[in-house]
A and B are shown apart, each in its own frame.
Chain A
Amino acid sequence: MLQIFHQINVDWLGKRRFFIGISIVLMLAGMGTAFYRHKFHPNGTEAFNLGVDFKGGTVITVRFKQPPPADTLRAAINQAGIKDAVIQPVLDKKGMFLVKVPHQGFEESEKGESQAGVDAARSKIIQSLNTFGAEVDPNAKTLEDDPKAAYKIEGTEAVGQVASKQLRNQAIAVTIAALIGMLLFIAFRFEWTYGAAAVIAVFHTVLVTLGLFSIFQIEINLTVIAALLTLVGFDVNDSIVIFDRIRENRKLYRRMNLYDVTNLSINQTLSRTVITSGLVFLSVVALVLLGGETLRPFSLALLMGIIFGTYDTIAVAGPIMVWWEKKIAAANKLSATDARETNLKPPRSTTRGERSRDGVGKPSQAA
């Protein structure tokens, strides 16, 4: 049979300093970049390249019959009084541009009411687009059906100040809520230390991914949040597969210490980890290649997340859990008068054994 790994015996935990070192460097690089950009704005960048969803503003997708050069387009929009417009040609669609305009602030309208809504930018963009020819007739089905038209607005996305703030807060709340939900569930099924380790590992992945988004200035929008949440799910999955195996092995090899059990469990599940991650990676690569421009930030977030998620399950979650359990064991040993327990088996192992038996049931009956 085809096999990726056969009888491997790697001391993963022995390399924990190296792994955690890499993680910390990656995290610091990303967060450092974000902080640097936040503080000094090199080339006018912000900590994160937030999309209209979170920053407010307008994105108009426009398609021209005869596409003008991006610079001409930018000049025309500048002329209409809009500063800092970003013109981005859509690579896989001929003649299509994304015109991104940041929120235009509070404009005093004729009646002296402040216009905090989203309409000010749009009308100005249309006004400047009209210098290239007429907009398509609303009754014509496609741009080509209207011989007089020069361009067609294929899509508009505009988000006002209030809504963008709501969306931003919501995104943060959702991510944290998902993490807490997982922490609670893992704590319920395993131990608090396991849950904490898995959640710290996943949080680390999220930070590294966000850091990369800051370094490469990839746009962060609502779908990126969906991607982050997905990789939170995948990452915790990986951790659970290993934890499950640890739980099982602890019952099987009662004399083995936690350090060895964890190494053994990581090794035993390694082929599964690699195959699954590899397959998901393949699907995500398909998404990056064929998913189109709209899904690009989403697929890139997933791609990075899969890579670091797989890495941190082995390199971060395991070591943190073992370290934590050791601390608990050491603390208990100090307080215990009887110091017979020389291995790292935590004193609470009896209760854990009972709970596992009650909570899980006999696995062979389950399916």
Chain B
Amino acid sequence: MKKRNLLQRSIIIAVITLVGLYIVIGPHGRRPHARDFTPSGIKENLAQNIHLGLDLKGGSHLVMRVKVEEYLKRLTEDSAIAAQNFAREAGFDVKETHAETTSGNYRVVLQVGDPSKTKEIRDLVEPKVDLRETSGWTFSASGNTLTWTLSSSAQRTLADAATEQALKIIETRINAVGVTEPTLQRHGGQNSHEILLQMPGIQDPEHVKKLLVGQSHLELVHVISTPAPAPVQTYASEAEAIASLNSGGKIPANRRVLPYTERPELAGQNANANPNAQATKKWVVVESPAIIDGAQLRSATANQSRAGADEYEIDFALKDAGSKKFGEWTGANINEYMGVMLDNEVKSIAFIKGQIFDQGQITGRFSKQSADDLALTLRSGALPAPLEYQEERTVGPSLGADSIRSGVRASLLGLTLVVLFMLIYYRGSGINAVIALLLNMILMLAGLIIFGATLTLPGIAGIILTIGMAVDSNVLIFERIREEIRSGKTIPSAVEQGFGHAFVTIIDTHVTTIVSSLFLYAFGAGPIRGFAVTLVLGLLVNLFSAVYVSRTIFIWLLSRKGKRVESLSI
């Protein structure tokens, strides 16, 4: 009975150990190779099997937040203007329109001349501008003020959709620049509107960062000016431009005042080519809403400009619907000025020589790099809202390698000290503990590989702590066996009792730590999770290595000594 039991146990242990070893150092997903089990082959496999976190292998970790409040603000403002325009076109008397977008409230407010027309205005405007109740807008009227308020659940839905859209756009942009093995996902809670991007091996994320936040919100706008041949009307300051509107210092809903700068994009790299490239910032007044916007873009490419060899421009083409609208407008506005607006700045202004349908250009003295980037972001579509970086953690490969080295060195030193102590203090049984410890290490790594977990710096700390817990189990068992021996029990029964009593304690301590680790995993982020994962794995493995394996070794020792065991090296 005992013998069979021992055999059974040994087979289970041998199988698990070999499988664990193979998982750790064997080739995975690849055809086994003759070289695989030479020292260098093992090292190579090990490096392939264990996924290292960015903090260890180097790379860039970015968390960006979609400024959804700006998205909602723009949506509300656009709706307000559109509502006013539709109502006026239909002949209703609209005195004033504005959008209220403060402290989490988004309202479209219309002041009408005749309150008795409220129902007609609602029936007209709501389907056209989508201010319907089903879209989350609640209507209320008091006197001649009509108000549509965006409900907070609709705000959440819209904000969430904006984040999803931003995620898709970022994905296209990332794929277009060719980052290898990026991880892109939502970050934090549903309401945090954050996006996490991890780029292994990227040391200098500046270029990618710029590319991602490029809003590339393109609009073609009508610039308010006396038609050509008179030069386009610009103003030296914003105040001057606003004053020209004669509206008492306020900008009416159907006008926008925008900066217009011919920016010397090349100045940074090629200052000599443009000695006079000092930018002069001017202001222009444009009509709102725009003629068409970037959503109507079919393609955008960066091309060398005719003006100079080092200057680049972006040629774009419009989709069918957009080009029809654009053609109508340009046909009706010959000699008027049109501006290309990018991210709330007018990049270039030209007058309409003749009807244009689907082609256009953005000139603005771009360098090749910035023109390429702009074309790329225009193709990927405009971000629904601006992005801001909330977290950047970039680790150079050498810094990561240093961390691995010091982590491994510290673990080895810790392990050595522990092993030495166990061998000196518990003598023969110390060997038992050492075997259990080593097995624990191997199986924990195997567990990390099976679950595809990433090993990070806090993860290494988790491993060191697992060493501590594993040793604790052995100490608990050995001390208990010693105690039982002291109290006069025979060796076999002391071992039996020692394991029995210690096991209850070990289960209690392990489960407590696992429970708290699960809490860490549930509530923690990145580094804390990595720590929790290694700790839980280590503890689970420990129940096997420190209890089952260690006990088997004792059983084997006792069975070898025969029925009458007089002493135990402990």
Contact = CB atoms under 8 A, between A and B. Distances in A.
B475 A276 contact: yes
A147 interface: no
B393 A152 contact: no
A1 B511 contact: no
Given A157-B392, A272-B475, A295-B457, A185 B503 contact: no
Contacts of B389: 117-119, 158, 160
B213 to A, nearest CB: 8
A241 B402 contact: no
A193 interface: no
Contacts of A272: 472, 475-476, 479
Contact of A163 (B391, B411, B508, B513): B391
Contacts, number: 246
A229 B414 contact: no
Given A279-B468, A282-B417, A366-B500, A240 B508 contact: yes
A138 interface: yes
A167 B475 CA distance: 37
Contacts of B403: 292, 294-295
A341 interface: no
A300 B509 CA distance: 24
Given A117-B389, A160-B388, A225-B528, A279 B515 contact: no
B427 A1 contact: yes
B12 interface: no
Interface stretch (A21-29, A171-179, A206-214, A345-353): A171-179
A156 interface: yes
Given A117-B388, A280-B468, A155 B394 contact: yes
Contacts of A229: 516, 520, 528, 531
A234 B501 contact: no
Given A163-B63, A276-B475, A279-B471, A286 B516 contact: no
Interface residues of B, number: 87
Contact of A156 (B392, B409, B528): B392
Interface in B72-128: none
Interface residues of A, number: 86
Interface string B470-505: 011001100100110000000000001101110111
A225 B461 CA distance: 12
A203 to B, nearest CB: 13
A154 interface: yes
Given A182-B515, A237-B509, A287 B528 contact: no
B524 A170 contact: yes
Nearest to B526: A222
Interface string A325-367: 0000000000000000000000000000000000010111111
Interface in B400-418: 402-403, 406-407, 409-411, 413-415, 417-418
Contacts of A287: 410, 414, 461, 464
A3 B426 CA distance: 9
Contacts of B461: 223, 226-227, 230, 287, 295, 298
A185 B528 contact: no
Given A222-B528, A280-B468, A283-B417, A233 B505 contact: no
B508 A244 contact: yes
A55 to B, nearest CB: 13
Interface of B: 63, 65, 188, 192, 194, 203-204, 209, 259, 343-345, 386, 388-396, 398-399, 402-403, 406-407, 409-411, 413-415, 417-418, 421, 424-425, 427, 457-458, 461, 464-465, 467-469, 471-472, 475-476, 479, 482-483, 496-497, 499-501, 503-505, 507-509, 511-513, 515-520, 522-528, 531, 535, 547, 551, 570
28 contacts: A115-B388, A117-B389, A118-B391, A138-B204, A154-B395, A157-B394, A159-B391, A160-B389, A166-B192, A174-B523, A174-B524, A181-B519, A222-B458, A222-B527, A226-B527, A229-B528, A233-B465, A237-B509, A241-B509, A244-B508, A286-B410, A286-B417, A289-B410, A290-B409, A292-B403, A360-B504, A367-B503, A367-B551
Interface of A: 1-3, 61, 93, 111, 113, 115-119, 122, 138, 142, 152-160, 162-163, 166-167, 170, 173-174, 177-182, 184-186, 189, 222-223, 225-227, 229-230, 232-234, 236-237, 240-241, 244-245, 248, 268-269, 271-272, 275-276, 278-280, 282-284, 286-287, 289-292, 294-295, 298, 360, 362-367
